């Protein structure tokens, strides 16, 4: 099929429905970017206990507002609190201790913004000190601003504290429209990633690549992510006569296809297309094995137990996924000439109802190592300014605990790293940490967000290239967070996070 | 299993019926010629599609002429009331009057039709008596009433009577022999003629009676004989054709039914003789028929309800219909209730101890004071491979268990009530998963309420959702109960997040918003209920050194005994022994959401991703009431959702929203079943157990390739979201949106992974290729074992498959024989149609696979156009003449792979 035939096909039914889709503004042409940007989302699945990742360090007897400092933090958290000990001067493994709990609770790296970074996260502390990491404090899903006084009258996101719907709110950027497409998917629709002439010129890679399953975040009306497992350098095994082109041809669309067959065959054809790309191109990208991580291992390796000095296993999947993202960025940017890419990495295990102090340190350790290694890789490619990474999570966890773990809560802290971010700072306020206090919507420390997810995502995607004019349709509740309703939409962004 | 041994127990109730029906019971009113209605359902026997069972509605959902009441395995003829009443007052033999002469004429097609017997009923409009009251007809004989008691010899089958096993009947009095009464002749010359498709009933009235039937089968074709006894205990049936050639009959395990299906080449007279092997009597039906179901329908049912169609099941359904197969499946005991079968836990232990006999599988546990076992219980910590053994046990069941429907429903339940190996503790104690799966199997056809209770007390769920070791709030430590299980129990296992209509659609408030079905306070209150549960034999509360294969126990010291307010109801304070757990489960079980919630999930797992609201409501209604006043009956729910018109609609495959993407695990088991997978015997374990030869054990390590493995979901939200919406306008624009949950796993690596593991070579051990290369499978095993370090673990699927039938079909189509030489595979000569022998072979092969493996479902033209040239002339598929067999094996393997990867196979419609 030549290009003319293909265009003719595209001008048929598919293209017509593009124009009639209410969620998709009619678009003369997608933005003609002449630069490259990538946004990497690390989703901390299960609900990260963010208040033990970033510890409030304010001194309430001095400058910090009552209830927002370490004293209240410690009272509320009880025996799971992180010690305020400053680990930053130590040589060797700063968090070394007799067991995971002790290592986890041993201390923090005090950094600007009256916060301490958990002692098992030295790489994050270093990025922060180098202004390549920022902390967004007390962020969560919202529809409109909420206070304890208005919690019964304000519109609240439905199904707070339920994993799947709060994940979905983060994925859609639209907390009260649970069947919406994902925000990354809708950007791909908006920029017509599925079409010739659209963003990335209809590359088989599309705009969105997931190393964490077919996430809704990247699925919308016309675009769904390329989904890969971490560690995949090829797709099909062709050693025994399997021919991806035959597989593609046998799954050609057929006029008698029902919707189910149509969807299935499309996914199979997409797999074949991806296979060609991976087999021919991905394998040629740098895998960063010539760089070293803090343990002296090749970058993105999983440290062994002796190196780690924690008990239990680090899964290493997030590290591996981050390496593949770094390779995909080379492929997209340098080989295929793509303009915009969003990557999703799913990191599981954060639902720490039990054994928080045993397992959370392993997770935070891998997260920190991943952030440090990924930044190192981007620095080595000289594209640190073009790539930003951010975290999302279902929710944070209760400040109070259930004996050996914490339960589902609401607002928590998030991280943004990269060369473009104005790092070394905390954005957003630490709230009153008192159980049943002014920011607690319950009695066990389910904190009301001070910043909305919408503001966070809008700030990130604005950096990524979404126009101010498209923000209101991309994040329909964003306008509720403008300080003054007559202000422009940009007033709802997190001010200063990026130099826009 | 509970067969009465030896002496053939008389069944007075049945006998009475026989006598009544035959005699007409001495009416003195000759003018009244009401037809016999043995079951008093106001449908005369000669019109009644199930004359021995009260079934006024005459339901016959498969339209085979035999009523549902007679096809239902839980046939209630032997209800206690009937037996008791009839026994209490044995019916004296009536003196036959001329007008009520029983139809001794064996030529008459049916007894009643032959003789319009007068049967003035006492209660002409007989309503079935309540199950608890004795039948008004229990004493007809004691009254000198002129009216015979034909009205209700079986006042038994009240439609709402709960099905319960008949208690042992009182010892009957002496049997009133009725010399001369016999409904069907004893010899072929006096045989009763059968009509194809029309069931006929008969009675073995006396010891030694035999009844003979005959039928002239009109043309070549396939026919069936089906004999089902009622209260016969056991029966004998012999079937003979022209020239007195016997046709073998197959007996049901209970000996109370027999059937045969066979092909004839030319018309002929067949006769069947029914008798009892023991001196016994009873009633029965005999039916001669043509096959009841199309192959396509049978195949479709098996895709929906099994781990893969196999020929035997397929033929059973074709011959005798969906209902009978379903009845048999539903009637089969669970492995836990059938001592002849191993549970998954038993099998996991067998496998573990066989592969690693040296491991310390049963360490003494000082907290387990069981003297008999010296405190031992199985402990999976003995090996790092226990998870493999548990999974092998699961696959064994999926591949070979006869109760496929139960297995599939249990698998569906495992995707609703999710536990997973992806949990720090369960990863080390996989035996808890086997224990848990046994609970799912046991309750799959039981009651959802019982299942909830078992689930909540299981160690697997206790660890997975962390209510094991959960304790009441501790003010000194500032802790509150863990909410994990409390929340997911409501959100995922019972009522869901928002209020549902009876048809499973969401209720909306005045603003169009969903209405939450519980609040955070409900979660917190429920969390207080879920306190005080711990492993048995733990050293102290909340530890994990106890047993993962016993149900958890209640430890009062850690339980919150205060009153709780949940979902607007109170659970009173001070409930003992964990009774508030049961009270809470009751609240959820009785919640309006639960029926549609469970119904929809089960339909989605088995039948279709997008059931219509009406379908959901029909099944939810069965959940609410199985027809006998019982709520939560999963057998009834399963039957209903499988037989529902929406599942069975022959147009279904063309209905746009109908069907589902086939799950990879099920596609994979289907492939193995289709090619008769069997374990490799004699392989050697490795490591510390090097040299230990293992028989009868699979090893299946394909989780990463398939993207899933049972009981290994990434989270309690299962492998895929039940509301995953693909990027396709048809699905996204529907309101509410249509979903394709299984498509969420159809990602590039998994698609390629499935293709990889379906391809022989190092991935699949195919019998024919092994035999060619090594001489025999045993020689192959010996050769592998003789390696310096045998490495059987390099085979992700340690199982033998047999592609012989496909190779034979290929060769037959290619060159007219199946001798294995594939002699013409390289011939370039073309036939009249312009095809080479190899091309002919490929066509034949694909047709064979389509017929045998896809049940005749159509493959796209695009499929053939793409695949045939590849197999014909792809470099990998062209070997030198000396390697003809290898070439044939490659072609067959790839053809199988492609047919299985086709959109036809990977969708279920």
Query: How do residues B694-735 score in pLDDT, each as one tens digit?
Result: 999 999 999 989 999 999 998 999 999 888 899 898 998 999
Query: In this structure, what are the phi and psi dihedrals at residue B554, rounded to the nearest 5 degrees?
Result: -95, 130
Q: What is the pLDDT along chain A (500 residues), one digit of tens a residue?
A: 343 333 333 333 333 333 334 444 444 478 999 999 999 999 999 999 999 999 999 999 998 888 999 999 999 999 999 999 999 988 889 999 999 999 999 999 999 999 999 999 999 999 999 999 999 999 999 999 999 999 999 999 989 999 988 999 999 999 998 789 999 999 999 999 988 889 998 899 999 999 999 999 999 988 999 999 999 888 999 988 999 999 999 999 999 999 999 999 999 999 999 999 998 899 889 999 999 999 999 999 999 989 999 998 899 999 999 999 999 999 999 999 999 999 999 999 999 999 999 999 999 999 999 999 999 999 999 999 999 999 999 999 999 999 999 999 999 999 999 999 999 999 999 999 999 999 999 889 999 999 999 999 999 999 999 999 999 999 999 999 999 999 999 999 999 999 86
Q: Predicted confidence band at B71 (pLDDT cuts at 50, 70, 90)?
A: low
**Chain B environment of A401 (Cβ under 8 Å):** 478-480
Q: Are A356 and A49 in contact (CB under 8 A)?
A: yes
Interface of A with B in 403-422 (CB under 8 A): 403-405, 407-408
| Cβ atoms of A231 and A320 closer than 8 Å | yes
Q: Would you call B766 an interface residue with chain A, using a CB distance cutoff of 8 Å?
A: no
CB contact under 8 A, A242 and B483: no
* Residues of chain B contacting residue A358, judged by C-beta atoms under 8 Å apart: 424
Instruction: Find how far residue A58's CA is from the centre of its chain.
Output: 27
User: What pLDDT score was predicted for residue B91?
Assistant: 39
Which chain B positions have a beta carbon within 8 Å of A257's beta carbon? Answer: 903
- Look at A163 and B717 and tell me if their CB atoms are within 8 Å: yes
B94 or B543: which leads in pLDDT: B543
For tokens 């995953």, the residue is B724
**Residue of A165, A185, A407 lying closest to B482 (CB–CB):** A407
SS (H, E, C) B752-797: HHHHHHCCCCCCCEEHHHHHHHHCCHHHHHHHHHCCCCCCHHHCCE
Residues of B in contact with A359 (CB under 8 A): 424
- Window from A343-352, A458-467, B46-55, B784-793 with minimum mean pLDDT: B46-55
Q: Considering only the beta carbons, identify the residue of A213, A216, A237 that sits closest to B756.
A: A237
- Residue in B479, B653, B726 closest to A401 by CB: B479
Largest CA distance in chain A: 74
Band of residue B470 on the pLDDT scale cut at 50, 70, 90: very high
Residue A356 to residue A359: CA distance in whole angstroms: 6
Which band of pLDDT confidence, cut at 50, 70 and 90, is reported for residue B790?
confident
C-alpha to C-alpha distance for A445 and A80, rounded to whole angstroms: 14
- What CA–CA distances, in Å, run from B364 to A332, B69, B106, B429? 59, 54, 72, 16
| For residues B572-580, average pLDDT | 96
B423 vs B429: CA distance, rounded Å? 10
What is the separation of C-alpha B642 from the centre of its chain, rounded to a whole number of angstroms?
Answer: 10
Substitution target in B480, B485, B490, B886 with the highest count of A β-carbons within 10 Å is B480
* Range with lowest mean pLDDT among B152-161, B394-403, B441-450: B152-161
Instruction: Decide if B514 touches A, using CB distance below 8 A.
Output: yes
- Does the beta-carbon distance from B862 to A232 stay under 8 Å? no
Using CA atoms, how far residue B815 sits from A21, B802, B830, B850, B878, in Å, is: 57, 21, 12, 20, 17
Looking up tokens 């300080």 gives: A483
Q: Which residues of A touch B523 (CB under 8 A)?
A: 161
Q: What is the mean pLDDT of residues B549-561?
A: 97
* pLDDT score for B491: 96
User: With contacts defined as CB-CB under 8 Å, which chain A residues touch B866?
Assistant: 246-247, 249-250, 252
Query: Given CB atoms, is A289 within the 8 Å cutoff of chain B?
Result: no
User: Chain B contacts of A407, Cβ < 8 Å?
Assistant: 480, 482-484
- Residues A221, B727: C-beta atoms closer than 8 Å: yes
Mean pLDDT estimate for chain B:
83
Cβ–Cβ contact A200 with B under 8 A: no
Subunit contact B860:A250, Cβ cutoff 8 A: yes
Q: How many CA atoms lie within 13 A of B486 on its CB side?
A: 31
Q: Indicate whether this model's pTM tops 0.80.
A: yes
Of the candidates B424, B483, B740, the beta carbon closest to that of A260 is on B740
What count of other Cβ atoms lies within 10 Å of the Cβ of residue A386?
A: 17
Residue A120 CA to residue A108 CA, distance in Å, equals 8
The beta-carbon neighbor of A407 closest among B483, B514, B760 is: B483
Q: Quick one: pLDDT band at residue B174, thresholds 50, 70, 90?
A: very low
Q: Determine contact: A159 vs chain B, CB below 8 A.
A: yes
Structure tokens at B389: 């053994």
B246, β-bridge pairs: B240
Binary contact (B901, A164; C-beta < 8 A):
no
Average pLDDT over every residue of B301-322: 96
Provide the token pair at B858: 């159509």
A252 to chain B nearest CA, in Å?
7
Q: A235 vs B749: CB contact, 8 Å cut-off?
A: yes
Say if B897 is an interface residue toward chain A (CB within 8 Å): yes
CB-CB under 8 Å, A242 with B894: yes
Query: Per residue in B486-526, pLDDT tens?
Result: 999 999 999 999 999 999 999 999 999 999 999 999 999 99
Cβ neighbours, 10 Å, residue A144? 16
CB B454 within 8 A of CB B547: no
Provide Rg for chain B, Cα atoms.
31
- Nearest-by-Cβ selection for A442 from B482, B520, B716: B520
B residues 640-679 closer than 8 Å to A (CB): 653-661
Judge whether B374 is closer than 8 Å to chain A, CB to CB: no
Q: Please list every residue in chain A whose beta carbon sits closer than 8 Å to the beta carbon of residue B862.
A: 249-252, 254
Taking residues B603-611, what's their average pLDDT? 97
Whether residue B232 has pLDDT greater than 90: no
Question: Which H/E stretch holds residue A342?
Answer: strand A340-347
Nearest to B740 among A21, A78, A263 (CB): A263
**Residue A365: C-alpha distances to residues A125, A398, B19 (Å):** 12, 21, 84
Looking at the DSSP assignment, which residues form a beta bridge with residue A106?
none
Which residue is closest to B462 within chain A, CA to CA? Answer: A354
Q: Identify the weakest region by mean pLDDT among A337-346, B21-30, B834-843, B895-904.
A: B21-30
- Greater model confidence, B71 or A352: A352
Asked if B721's CB is within 8 angstroms of A351's CB, the reply is no
User: Do B705 and B796 contact (CB within 8 A), yes or no?
Assistant: yes
Angle at Cα A217 formed by Cα A211 and Cα A218, nearest 5°?
Answer: 70
pLDDT the model gives residue B664: 96
* Closest partner CB to A400 (pick from B478, B659, B740): B478
Contact criterion met (CB below 8 Å) for A367 and A315: no
* Rounded CA separation A199/B843 (Å): 44
- In this predicted structure, the answer to whether residue B162 has a pLDDT above a threshold of 70 is no
On whether the CB atoms of residues A407 and A84 are closer than 8 A, the answer is no
Checking if the pLDDT of B143 tops 70, the result is no
Contact A309, A103 (CB under 8 A): yes
Total CB pairs under 8 A between chain A and B: 238
What span, in angstroms and rounded, lies between the C-alpha atoms of B497 and B294? 42
User: What string of DSSP letters covers A23-55?
Assistant: TS---SS-----S-EEEEEEEETT---GGGTEE
Cβ neighbours of A405 in B, within 8 Å:
466, 482
CA dihedral for A473, A475, A480, A485, sign (positive or negative): negative
Q: What angle do CA B405, B409, B410 make, to 5 degrees?
A: 115
Rounded to a whole number, what is the distance in Å from the CA of B591 to chain A's nearest CA? 19
pLDDT at B160: 31
**Bridging pattern class, strands A37-44 and B200-204:** unpaired
Q: How far is CA A445 from the centre of its chain?
A: 24
Is the peptide bond prior to B736 cis by the omega test (within 30 degrees of 0)? yes
Instruction: Decide if pLDDT at B132 tops 80.
Output: no
Q: CA nearest B194: which of B219, B230, B218, B222? A: B218
pLDDT at B690: 84
Token pair 């859609």 is found at A172
d(CA B608, CA B599): 12
Nearest CB to A164: which of B481, B721, B727?
A: B721
Pairing of strands B210-217, B192-193: parallel
Residues 6+ apart with CB under 8 A from A388: A37, A38, A39, A40, A416, A417, A418, A420, A421, A460, A463, A464, A498
Closest alpha carbon to A169 in A380, A456, A485: A456
The backbone torsions φ and ψ at residue B707, rounded to the nearest 5 degrees and listed phi first, read 85, 5
How many Cβ atoms from other residues are within 10 Å of residue B172's Cβ? 16
Residues of A in contact with B721 (CB under 8 A): 164, 216
Q: What is the number of other CB atoms lying within 10 angstroms of the CB of residue A312? A: 13
Measured CA angle at A413 (ends A408, A417), to 5 deg: 135
Assess contact for B151 and B121: CB atoms under 8 A.
Answer: yes
Question: pLDDT of B619-676, one tens digit each?
Answer: 999 999 999 999 999 999 999 999 999 999 999 989 999 999 999 999 999 999 999 9
Q: What are phi and psi of B516, to 5 degrees?
A: -55, 140
Residue closest to B38 by CA, chosen among B15, B9, B8, B68: B15
Chain A interface, best mutation among B531, B747, B876, by max A CB count within 10 A: B747
Contacts of B748 in chain A (CB under 8 A): 226-228, 232, 235, 270-271, 274-275
DSSP B622-634: HHH--SSS-S-BH
Test A265 with B903 for CB contact under 8 angstroms. yes
- CA-nearest residue to B874 within chain A is A241
Give the tokens for residue B109.
């097609």
Q: How far apart are CA B49 and CA B60, in angstroms?
A: 8
- Does the pLDDT of residue B122 top 60, yes or no? no
Q: Is A196 exposed, middle or buried (0-12, 13-18, 19+ CB in 10 A)?
A: exposed
Which residues on chain A are in Cβ contact (under 8 Å) with B756?
236-237, 242
CB B783: neighbour CB atoms within 10 A? 13
CA dihedral over A152, A157, A159, A163, signed as positive or negative: negative
Q: How far apart are CA B240 and CA B272, in angstroms?
A: 6
Could you tell me which residues come within 8 angstroms of residue A173 by beta carbon, excluding any fewer than 6 positions away? A182, A183, A453, A454, A457, A474, A475
Report how far residue A27's alpha carbon sits from residue A267's, in angstroms, rounded to the nearest whole number. Answer: 26
Tell me the pLDDT tens digit for each residue of B252-269.
888 888 999 999 999 999
Q: Is the pLDDT of residue B892 over 80?
A: yes
A263 reaches B (C-beta below 8 A) = yes
A231 interfacial to chain B (CB closer than 8 Å)? no
* 3-class secondary-structure state, position A133: strand
Q: Is residue B43 scored above 80 in pLDDT?
A: no
Residue linked to tokens 């992974």: B753
Whether the per-residue pLDDT at B135 is higher than 80: the answer is no
Closest residue in B to A163 (Cα) is B717
The residue of chain B nearest to residue A222, with distances taken between CA atoms, is B727
Per DSSP, the three-state class of B825 is coil
The answer to whether residue B523 neighbours chain A at the CB level (below 8 Å) is: yes
């Amino acid at each position: 099929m030549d290009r003319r035939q293909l265009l003719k096909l595209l001008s048929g039914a598919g293209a017509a429905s593009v124009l009639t889709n209410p969620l998709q503004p009619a678009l003369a042409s997608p933005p003609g970017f002449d630069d490259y940007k990538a946004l990497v989302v690390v989703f901390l699945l299960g609900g990260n206990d963010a208040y033990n990742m970033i510890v409030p360090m304010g001194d309430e007897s001095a400058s910090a507002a009552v209830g927002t400092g370490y004293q209240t933090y410690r009272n509320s958290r009880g025996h799971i609190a992180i010690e305020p000990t400053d680990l930053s001067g130590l040589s060797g493994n700063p968090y070394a201790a007799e067991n995971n709990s002790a290592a986890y609770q041993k201390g923090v790296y005090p950094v600007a913004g009256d916060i301490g970074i958990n002692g098992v996260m030295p790489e994050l502390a270093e990025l922060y000190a180098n202004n390549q990491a920022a902390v967004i404090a007390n962020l969560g899903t919202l529809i409109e601003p909420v206070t304890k006084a208005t919690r019964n009258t304000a519109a609240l996101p439905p199904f707070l504290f339920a994993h799947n719907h709060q994940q979905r709110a983060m994925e859609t950027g639209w907390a009260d429209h649970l069947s919406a497409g994902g925000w990354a998917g809708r950007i791909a629709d908006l920029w017509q990633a599925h079409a010739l002439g659209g963003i990335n010129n209809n590359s088989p890679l599309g705009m969105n690549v997931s190393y964490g399953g077919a996430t809704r975040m990247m699925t919308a009306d016309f675009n769904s992510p390329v989904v890969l497992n971490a560690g995949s350098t090829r797709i099909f095994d062709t050693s025994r006569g399997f021919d991806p082109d035959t597989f593609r041809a046998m799954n050609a669309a057929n006029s008698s296809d029902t919707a189910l067959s149509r969807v299935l065959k499309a996914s199979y054809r997409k797999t074949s297309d991806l296979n060609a790309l991976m087999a021919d191109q991905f394998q040629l990208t740098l895998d960063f094995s010539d760089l070293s991580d803090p343990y002296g291992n090749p970058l993105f390796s999983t440290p062994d137990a002796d190196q780690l000095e924690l008990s239990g296993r680090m899964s290493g999947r997030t590290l591996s996924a981050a390496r593949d993202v770094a390779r995909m960025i080379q492929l997209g940017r340098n080989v295929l000439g793509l303009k915009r890419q969003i990557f999703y990495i799913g990191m599981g295990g954060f639902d720490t109802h039990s054994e928080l102090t045993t397992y959370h340190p392993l997770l935070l350790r891998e997260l920190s190592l991943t952030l440090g290694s990924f930044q190192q890789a981007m620095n080595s490619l000289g594209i640190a300014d073009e790539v930003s990474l951010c975290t999302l999570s279902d929710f944070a966890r209760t400040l109070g605990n259930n004996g050996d773990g914490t339960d589902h809560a609401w607002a928590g802290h998030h991280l943004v790293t990269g060369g473009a971010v104005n790092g070394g700072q905390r954005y957003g306020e630490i709230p009153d940490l008192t159980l049943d206090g002014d920011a607690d919507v319950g009695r066990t420390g389910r904190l009301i967000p001070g910043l909305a997810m919408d503001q966070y995502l809008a700030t990130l995607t604005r950096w990524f290239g979404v126009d101010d004019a498209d923000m209101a349709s991309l994040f329909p509740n964003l306008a509720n967070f403008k300080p003054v309703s007559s202000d422009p939409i940009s007033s709802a962004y997190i001010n200063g996070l990026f130099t826009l | 299993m509970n067969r009465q041994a030896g002496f053939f127990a008389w069944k007075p109730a049945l006998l009475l019926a026989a006598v009544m029906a035959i005699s007409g019971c001495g009416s003195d009113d000759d003018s009244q010629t009401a037809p016999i209605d043995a079951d008093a359902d106001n449908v005369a026997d000669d019109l009644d599609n199930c004359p021995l069972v009260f079934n006024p509605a005459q339901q016959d959902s498969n339209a085979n002429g035999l009523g549902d009441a007679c096809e239902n395995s839980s046939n209630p003829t032997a209800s206690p009331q009937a037996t008791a009443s009839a026994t209490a007052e044995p019916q004296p033999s009536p003196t036959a009057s001329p007008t009520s002469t029983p139809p001794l004429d064996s030529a008459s097609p049916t007894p009643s039709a032959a003789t319009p017997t007068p049967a003035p009923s006492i209660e002409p409009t007989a309503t079935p008596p309540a199950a608890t009251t004795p039948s008004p007809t229990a004493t007809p004989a004691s009254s000198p009433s002129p009216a015979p008691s034909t009205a209700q010899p079986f006042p038994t089958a009240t439609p709402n009577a709960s099905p319960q096993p008949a208690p042992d009947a009182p010892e009957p009095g002496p049997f009133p022999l009725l010399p001369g009464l016999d409904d069907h002749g004893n010899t072929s010359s006096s045989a009763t003629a059968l009509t194809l498709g029309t069931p006929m009933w008969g009675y073995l009235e006396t010891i030694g009676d035999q009844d003979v039937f005959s039928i002239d089968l009109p043309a070549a074709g396939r026919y069936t004989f089906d004999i089902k006894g009622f209260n016969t205990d056991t029966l004998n049936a012999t079937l003979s054709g022209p020239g007195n050639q016997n046709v073998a009959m197959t007996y049901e395990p209970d000996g109370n039914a027999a059937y045969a299906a066979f092909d004839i080449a030319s018309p002929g007279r067949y006769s069947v003789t029914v008798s009892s092997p023991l001196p016994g009597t009873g009633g029965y039906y005999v039916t001669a028929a043509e096959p009841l179901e199309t192959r396509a329908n049978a195949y479709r049912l098996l895709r929906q309800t099994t781990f893969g169609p196999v020929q035997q099941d397929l033929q059973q359904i074709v011959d005798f219909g969906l209902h009978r197969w379903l009845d048999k499946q539903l009637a089969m005991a669970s492995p836990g209730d059938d001592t002849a079968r191993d549970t998954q836990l038993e099998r996991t232990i067998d496998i573990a101890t066989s592969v690693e006999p040296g491991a310390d599988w049963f360490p003494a546990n000082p907290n387990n004071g069981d003297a008999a076992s010296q405190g031992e219980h199985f402990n999976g910590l003995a090996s790092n491979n226990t998870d493999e053994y548990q999974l092998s046990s699961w696959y064994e069941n999926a591949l070979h268990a006869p109760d496929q429907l139960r297995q599939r429903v249990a698998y569906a339940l495992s995707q609703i009530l999710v536990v997973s190996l992806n949990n720090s503790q369960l990863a080390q104690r996989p035996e808890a998963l086997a224990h848990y799966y046994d609970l799912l199997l046991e309750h799959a056809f039981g009651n959802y309420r019982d299942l909830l209770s078992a689930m909540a007390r299981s160690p697997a769920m206790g660890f997975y959702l962390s209510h094991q070791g959960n304790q009441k709030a501790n003010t000194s430590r500032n802790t509150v109960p863990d909410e994990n299980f409390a929340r997911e129990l409501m959100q995922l296992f019972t009522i869901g997040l928002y209020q549902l209509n009876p048809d499973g659609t969401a209720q909306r408030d005045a603003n169009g918003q969903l209405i939450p079905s519980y609040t955070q306070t409900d979660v917190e209150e429920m969390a207080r209920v879920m306190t005080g549960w711990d492993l048995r034999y733990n050293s102290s509360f909340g530890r994990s050194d106890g047993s993962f294969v016993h149900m958890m126990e209640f430890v009062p010291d850690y339980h919150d005994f205060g009153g709780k307010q949940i979902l607007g109801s109170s659970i009173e304070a001070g409930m003992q022994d964990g009774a508030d757990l049961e009270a809470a489960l009751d609240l959820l079980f009785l919640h309006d959401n639960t029926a549609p919630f469970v119904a929809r999930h089960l339909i989605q797992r088995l039948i279709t991703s997008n059931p219509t609201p009406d379908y959901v409501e029909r099944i939810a209604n069965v959940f609410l009431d199985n027809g006998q006043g019982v709520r939560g009956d999963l057998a009834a729910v399963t039957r209903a959702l499988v037989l529902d018109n929406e599942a069975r609609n022959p147009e279904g495959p063309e209905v746009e929203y109908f069907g589902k993407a086939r799950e990879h695990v099920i596609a994979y088991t289907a492939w193995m079943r289709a090619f008769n997978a069997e374990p490799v015997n004699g392989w050697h374990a490795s490591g510390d157990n090097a040299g230990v030869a293992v028989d009868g054990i699979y090893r299946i390590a394909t989780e990463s390739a398939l993207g899933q493995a049972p009981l290994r979901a990434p989270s309690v939200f299962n492998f895929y979201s039940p509301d995953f919406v693909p990027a396709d306008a048809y699905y996204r624009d529907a309101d509410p949106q249509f979903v394709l949950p299984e498509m969420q796993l159809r990602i590039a690596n998994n698609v390629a992974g499935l293709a990889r593991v379906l391809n022989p070579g190092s991935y699949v051990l195919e019998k024919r290729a092994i035999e060619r290369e090594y001489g025999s499978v045993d020689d192959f095993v010996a050769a592998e074992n003789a390696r310096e370090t045998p490495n059987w673990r390099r085979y992700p699927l340690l199982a033998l498959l047999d592609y012989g039938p496909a190779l034979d079909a290929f060769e037959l189509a290619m060159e007219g024989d199946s001798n294995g030489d594939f002699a013409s595979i390289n011939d370039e000569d073309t036939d009249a149609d312009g095809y080479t022998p190899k091309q002919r072979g490929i066509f034949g092969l694909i047709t064979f696979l389509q017929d045998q493996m896809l049940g005749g479902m159509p493959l796209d033209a695009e499929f053939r156009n793409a695949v045939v040239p590849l197999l014909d002339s792809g470099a990998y598929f062209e070997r030198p003449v000396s390697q003809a067999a290898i070439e044939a094996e490659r072609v067959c393997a790839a053809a199988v792979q492609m047919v299985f990867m086709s959109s036809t196979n990977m969708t279920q419609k």
